Amino acid sequence: MNLIVAVDKNWAIGKDNKLLVSIPQDMKFFREQTKGKVVAMGRKTLESFPGGQPLKNRINIVLTSDPEYHVNGVVVVHTIKEMVEELKKYESEDIFVIGGESIYRQLLPYCHRAYVTRIDHAYDADTYFPNLDEDPQWKMTKISDEQTYFDLEYVFTIYERV
């Protein structure tokens, strides 16, 4: 199972249920990696998308504790155990965990690869991703050349479970 995330220099990922920054190349990378695949997320992540609608050309699996929650085009699960069972129906390589914070933390033990866009800036944030540099179970195996978007510098990295 994979995960994909953009983090700032403090491993922050969001504020007020929004991304910290929208970098076109990062959005393109996200689309290319996840198109035709399975995306696993929490309810708030789904609701942060335009119109609260699922991502097109992907299987969207959403975790919520609300038993009445229904959205067209979405597979809804209510516990992390149920999410893991649902994900077993798909090839592990085709699964991408896409957030938010609690989903990342709960599914990280099941993931073997992490696509992390590292943004060289510290934002005001209220949600964070676990710092993989400090986790002995993870190792950065790939890093791109530095990219620039206006005055922001960032790199695309891949971490793998060791």
Across the chain, mean pLDDT equals 97
Number of domains in the chain: 1
CATH number at residue 49: 3.40.430.10
| pLDDT tens readout for residues 29-51 | 999 999 999 999 999 999 999 99
Beta-carbon count within 10 A of 102 CB: 13
125 touches 12 (CB < 8 A): yes
Q: Return the closest-CA partner of residue 25 out of 142, 160, 144.
A: 144
Q: Return the closest-CA partner of residue 99 out of 22, 3, 32.
A: 3
Q: Place 12 in a pLDDT band, splitting at 50, 70 and 90.
A: very high
Most distant pair of Cα atoms in the chain: their distance: 46
Alpha-carbon gap, residue 112 to 161, rounded angstroms: 5
Q: Return the closest-CA partner of residue 41 out of 15, 81, 10, 80.
A: 80
Domain that holds residue 138: 2-161
Task: Name the residue type at position 89.
Answer: K
* Peptide bond before residue 100 is cis, with ω within 30 degrees of 0: yes
Look at residue 94 in the predicted model and tell me its pLDDT: 98
Percentage above 70 pLDDT, the chain? 100
| pLDDT tens readout for residues 59-70 | 999 999 999 999
Look at residue 53 in the predicted model and tell me its pLDDT: 96
Look at residue 159 in the predicted model and tell me its pLDDT: 98
Look at residue 64 in the predicted model and tell me its pLDDT: 98
